[in-house]
Structure 1
Amino acid sequence: MPDVSIDLPAPALSDDAAVRDAVLDNAAWSSLTGPHAAFAIGGDLARRYPDDVAPFVAVRTWDDPAVWDALREIVDAGEQFGLSGFDGELPAGWEFVGGGEGVQLIETPVLSTRPDEEAVELGADDVDDMLAIVARNQPGPFRPRTHELGRYIGIRRGGRLVAMAGERLHPAGWTEISAVAVDEDHRRQGLASRLVLDVAFHIQQRGDRALMHAAASNTGAIAAYERLGFALRRRTRFSSVRAPQ
């Protein structure tokens, strides 16, 4: 994610909504201590997904300096991984590799979801095609077992996977829509919107609400998601960090 920031208005939330949605303030941690606990490696201060599932590491709070010792117990020497919400100084030996501003969007009542007749569910037999479309379009981190985090769907044309979207982080009561990718020769046909609405439909069917993350610099995608019925909730800092050798 590029190291850029844009000015976006902060969302207005009622006190009740702010309390209810607090799990979103630390979405990866909420996932790893909640619905995705079965994937979690770590303990009370720091947790991570297996590297072949997702490159995300989360901590309970950055206010406790002991989290850095906890992180060293769950990451390999020299490993590069993603962190969210950290904007302080790294301890000696830790290296900042890159980062930038991101935005978190959540569904609103305007979002009108629906299943898509052309979309097919993707699974273990489709991993090679899923990795290939991610490599072609770079929608964000996607690993060989990322599809195990939730439901993934795609559209095939002539046997080729040309569009994809699915579920990733899963804080209690919420599911993140991620890996939205459409091949260049199939863009401007509404495929991304159709898949997002299908994924959101099934999220709502099981009683959850949909959220999304995007780079703050990706104003085109943000505008498209807002037109569908998502609204900005917060901005956050994403960092790529390398552990000490």
Structure 2
Amino acid sequence: MVPNHVLDNPVWHALRSGNKHLAHGPNTIPYFTPDVSPFAALSELTQANLTRLYQTIPFDSPIALFSPEKLAIAAPWTLRQRIDGWQLVYTKPAEPAPIGPEIMSLTSQHVPQMLALTALTAPGPFANRTIAFGHYEGIFEGDELVAMAGQRLQAYEFAEISAVCTHPDHVSKGYARHLLRRQICRIQAASGTPFLHVKAENQRAIHLYEAMGFEIRTDMYIYVLQKN
């Protein structure tokens, strides 16, 4: 399959544009290192490229591929999981920066708390160097990080909002909405278009995103693959 839109193949386009500094491998089959993200990409979603990726990646940890269509995964890869989800895009006019709880920029010193929060809430993969994607912000209660959000894939003018999560003890306080609005404003101020991905089963998050003005653009399937 040859994707027709940048966001049909967001990881590949990100690795060739805004996240190029984090890219490894040939242009046709680039990937992030596992300490940043498990994502890899193919210029075209073909069996030949899947085989080349298998032969090229120098590590054995699982990788994840995005596709707007269902794929047939064959040897030498083993399919560990398929995550069904949606890709949503925000195209409404810019809104004023929100007023709300104090938000702090997150740095390397906050990584242990970021890892703990994402492990508890499972918003998506988050590793020791995921913060290298940039623009992560959080809300603290005392010294505890209780909510966060940031940006991940930067595919030309499209910027993905990611790692949106709130500690279970602090839900329903509007923290996620406030952090999302901050990211939307930041992206639009840079003349970008916000987008994000969400699991199809996560109805709470989908309702929030749609209430804020995000619109579903396409199905998105994430294939978690393991070397045999």
Normalised TM-score (structure 2)? 0.92
- Larger displacement relative to structure 2 (187-196 or 69-78): 69-78
Distance in 2 of aligned mates of 1:69 and 1:239: 15
Are the structure 2 counterparts of residues 116 and 49 from structure 1 closer, same or farther at C-alpha, using a change threshold of 3 Å? Answer: farther
Distance in 1 of aligned mates of 2:193 and 2:71: 31
Q: Secondary structure at the match of 1:46?
A: coil
1:233 paired residue among 210, 217, 220: 217
Q: Secondary structure at the match of 1:164?
A: strand
1:74 paired residue among 56, 64, 69: 56
The CA deviation string for residues 35-78 of structure 1, in whole angstroms up to 9 with x for no partner, is 11111111132010111111101100113x32123212432464
CA RMSD in angstroms, aligned pairs only: 1.7
How far is the alpha carbon of 1:154 from its aligned partner? 0.1
* Consecutive unaligned residues in structure 2, runs of 5 or more: none
Partner of 2:173: 189
Is the contact between residue 76 and residue 243 of structure 1 (CA under 8 Å) also seen in structure 2?
no
1:51 paired residue among 25, 34, 38: 34
Partner of 2:129: 145
The CA deviation string for residues 179-209 of structure 1, in whole angstroms up to 9 with x for no partner, is 0110111110100000000111111111111
Q: Secondary structure at the match of 1:169?
A: strand
2:202 paired residue among 197, 218, 243: 218
Is the contact between residue 113 and residue 200 of structure 1 (CA under 8 Å) also seen in structure 2?
no
Partner of 1:13: none
Distance in 1 of aligned mates of 2:71 and 2:161: 28
Is the contact between residue 131 and residue 142 of structure 1 (CA under 8 Å) also seen in structure 2?
yes
Q: How does 1:1-245 map to 2 (within 5 A)?
A: 22-63=5-46, 65-76=47-58, 78-85=60-67, 87-109=70-92, 112=95, 114-116=97-99, 118-244=102-228
Amino acid at match of 1:144: N
Distance in 1 of aligned mates of 2:96 and 2:176: 13
* Consecutive unaligned residues in structure 1, runs of 5 or more: 1-18
The CA deviation string for residues 130-152 of structure 1, in whole angstroms up to 9 with x for no partner, is 11111111111011111111200
- Larger displacement relative to structure 2 (213-222 or 85-94): 85-94
Identity between Structure 1 and Structure 2 (%): 32
Q: Secondary structure at the match of 1:57?
A: coil
